[in-house]
């Protein structure tokens, strides 16, 4: 009886019956969310027939059709007049050849593509040529007055090429914040835009094997063959080089390879290398259209106030085969599961007896795996103005290993949305684990586009303290079931949805609370995003 009442209470708007026992919540979540549907979505979206859901392939057509059918069936309204699609214009560049020639005092130095470097352009010309351009190492390429930091001080890089380190961490974590979380200055986009503001003709990011946001190997793979991008404020030519290649350049300039070490110190000074680069790129670019897919439930009282739930639908497609010869990157966790979760959250909201007071948008972004042009586009063309956008709740991967005692929120300490979800977590008798301040995950998926635009954004992640197996089980998970960005990210019958629905309930309740309130989530005083709102 009590259980029935609880479900009714949930369906009727507010979760007012305190839920204390985990067993009880378990049952409630499973009633609220259909685990069979969740599984169906994942199995379909991550099947070989969807070919890894790569934009501009048959995988996109199948995925987008599936999402439109599901949103129609669930019965939420199209968010773009009569359409569930938001067309996103993207530039796709295919390369014929790309080379860098390095001239040092002692002659020319051979760098090999793709072993030593990756290079790309967003010029739509078929040729991008630079001849004998001086090169400056600008450390981490930061201009951050609040941290009294200017890596471009006393140097003019106008008309030159800059080399800069990715990220902003050393062994101790963020050096800007002395071991505390990474700052928004660690974003590659920020660094590239800064290089453009400084007038650089081209930039090369220096990657290590373990560097964030990803290792050099991944950059090589992602930029081979084609690149996908949007017009933005950045130098026409960009690229990355490996640490090993950077060492070669330093050696050729008679410099100590330890100048890295100094780059994190505030008294770091940019260094002009005694060499020149010439680049040649032959490429064909064209404008193409991909799609974000979105539906909405219009708010009954405050239709202009919008809460955005999101997950990206795209993945890596067909690529380098693994040792078993599998070349389809199914992306079952990344992010078929996230998509499944948002679809079923949409259904739960649609099933509410009383419509939410504010509008709720459910959006599936394109091209997250290629520098997030889908969410950049959405933020530039939102359903309601960003001032009226209450919050973004984004997921990228989700729990599939069973129930956990905890959950992790990335980018801790940024917004009051974390307090909202903490209340819900406690109601479930669970706890919030701190994220690793060094992980930087907050900067790595679509939520960052909302945060950069000032909209409070929550990036929710699974817990690691399992009811069966505790934190030790996380190790097994990582060793046995991890397939991040490999063909091994596949659905298997070992997946468990009991933890999935329990976590979904948290997201549901946070959204519901925001939707039936006129509260505006805030950036916390210490948050670096506060000044933007």
Q: Which residues in the 233-262 window bind Zn ion by CB under 5 A?
A: none
Query: Which residues partner with 364 through β-bridges?
Result: 293, 311
Q: Between 424 and 503, whose beta carbon lies closer to Zn ion?
A: 503
Q: Between 268 and 450, whose beta carbon lies closer to Zn ion?
A: 450
3-state secondary structure of 334: helix
Smallest distance, Zn ion to C-beta of residue 316, A: 10
What is the phi/psi pair of residue 174, to 5°? Answer: -60, 125
Alpha-carbon separation of residue 244 from 64, 109, 268 (angstroms): 42, 13, 22
Q: At what angle do helices 22-32 and 498-515 cross, to 10 degrees?
A: 80
Nearby residues of 505 by Cβ (< 8 Å), 6 or more positions away: 25, 28, 29, 32, 33, 424, 428
Q: Which residues in the 323-342 window bind Zn ion by CB under 5 A?
A: 334-335
Alpha-carbon separation of residue 256 from 250, 343, 406 (angstroms): 7, 54, 47
Smallest distance, Zn ion to C-beta of residue 311, A: 8
Q: Which residues in the 382-401 window bind Zn ion by CB under 5 A?
A: 396
Q: How many amino acids of this chain bind Zn ion (CB under 5 A)?
A: 3
Cα angle: 335, vertex 336, 341; to 5 degrees: 95
Q: Between 302 and 365, whose beta carbon lies closer to Zn ion?
A: 365
Q: Between 214 and 520, whose beta carbon lies closer to Zn ion?
A: 214
Alpha-carbon separation of residue 331 from 20, 107, 319, 323, 484 (angstroms): 35, 46, 12, 17, 8
Smallest distance, Zn ion to C-beta of residue 445, A: 6
Smallest distance, Zn ion to C-beta of residue 64, A: 17
Smallest distance, Zn ion to C-beta of residue 369, A: 7
Smallest distance, Zn ion to C-beta of residue 323, A: 23
Q: Between 198 and 291, whose beta carbon lies closer to Zn ion?
A: 291
Smallest distance, Zn ion to C-beta of residue 210, A: 20
Q: Between 396 and 424, whose beta carbon lies closer to Zn ion?
A: 396
Give the integer Cα–Cα distance in Å for 52 and 68: 18
Q: Between 139 and 331, whose beta carbon lies closer to Zn ion?
A: 331
The DSSP element (H or E) to which 507 belongs, if any, is: helix 498-515
The residue ranges that bind Zn ion (CB under 5 A) are 334-335, 396
């Amino acid at each position: 009886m009590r259980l029935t009442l609880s479900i009714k209470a949930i369906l009727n708007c507010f979760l007012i019956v305190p839920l204390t026992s985990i067993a009880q919540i378990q049952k409630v979540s499973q009633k609220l969310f259909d685990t069979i549907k969740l599984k169906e979505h994942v199995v379909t979206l991550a099947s070989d027939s969807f070919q890894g859901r790569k934009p501009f392939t048959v995988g996109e057509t199948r995925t987008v059709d599936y999402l439109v059918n599901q949103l129609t069936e669930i019965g939420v309204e199209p968010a773009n007049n009569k359409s569930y699609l938001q067309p996103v214009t993207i530039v796709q560049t295919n390369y014929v050849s790309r080379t860098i020639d390095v001239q040092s005092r002692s002659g020319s130095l051979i760098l090999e593509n793709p072993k030593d470097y990756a290079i790309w352009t967003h010029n739509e010309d078929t040729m991008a040529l630079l001849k004998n351009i001086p090169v400056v190492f600008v450390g981490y390429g930061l201009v951050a007055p609040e941290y009294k930091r200017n890596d471009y001080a006393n140097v003019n890089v106008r008309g030159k090429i800059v080399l800069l380190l990715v990220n902003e961490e050393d062994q101790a974590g963020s050096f800007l914040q002395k071991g505390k979380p990474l700052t928004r200055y660690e974003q590659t986009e920020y660094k590239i835009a800064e290089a453009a503001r400084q007038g650089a003709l081209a930039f090369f990011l220096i990657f290590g094997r373990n560097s964030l946001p990803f290792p050099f190997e991944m950059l090589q793979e992602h930029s081979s063959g084609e690149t996908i991008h949007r017009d933005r404020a950045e130098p026409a030519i960009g690229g990355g080089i490996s640490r090993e290649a950077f060492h070669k350049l330093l050696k050729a300039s008679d410099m100590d390879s330890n100048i890295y070490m100094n780059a994190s110190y505030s008294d770091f000074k940019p260094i002009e290398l005694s060499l020149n680069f010439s680049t040649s790129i032959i490429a064909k670019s064209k404008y193409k259209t991909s799609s974000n897919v979105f539906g909405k439930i219009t708010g009954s009282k405050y239709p202009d106030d919008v809460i955005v739930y999101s997950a990206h639908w795209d993945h890596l497609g067909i690529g380098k085969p693994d040792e078993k010869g599998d070349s389809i990157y199914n992306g079952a966790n990344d992010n078929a599961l996230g998509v499944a979760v948002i679809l079923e959250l949409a259904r739960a909201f649609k099933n509410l007896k009383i419509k939410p007071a504010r509008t709720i948008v459910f959006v599936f972004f394109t091209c997250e795996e290629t520098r997030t042009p889908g969410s950049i586009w959405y933020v530039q063309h939102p359903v309601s103005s960003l001032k009226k956008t209450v919050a973004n709740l984004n997921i990228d991967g989700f729990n599939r290993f069973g129930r956990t005692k905890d959950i992790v929120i990335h980018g801790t300490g940024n917004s009051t949305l974390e307090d909202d979800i903490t209340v819900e977590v406690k109601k479930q008798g669970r706890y919030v684990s701190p994220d690793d301040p060094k992980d930087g995950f907050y900067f790595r998926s679509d939520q960052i586009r909302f945060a950069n635009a000032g909209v409070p954004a929550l990036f929710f992640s699974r817990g690691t303290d399992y009811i069966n197996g505790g934190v030790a089980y996380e190790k097994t998970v990582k060793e046995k079931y991890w397939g991040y960005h490999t063909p091994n990210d596949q659905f298997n019958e070992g997946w468990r949805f009991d933890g999935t629905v329990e976590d979904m309930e948290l997201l549901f309740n946070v959204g519901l609370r925001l939707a039936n309130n006129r509260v505006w989530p805030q950036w916390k005083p210490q948050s670096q995003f506060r000044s933007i709102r």
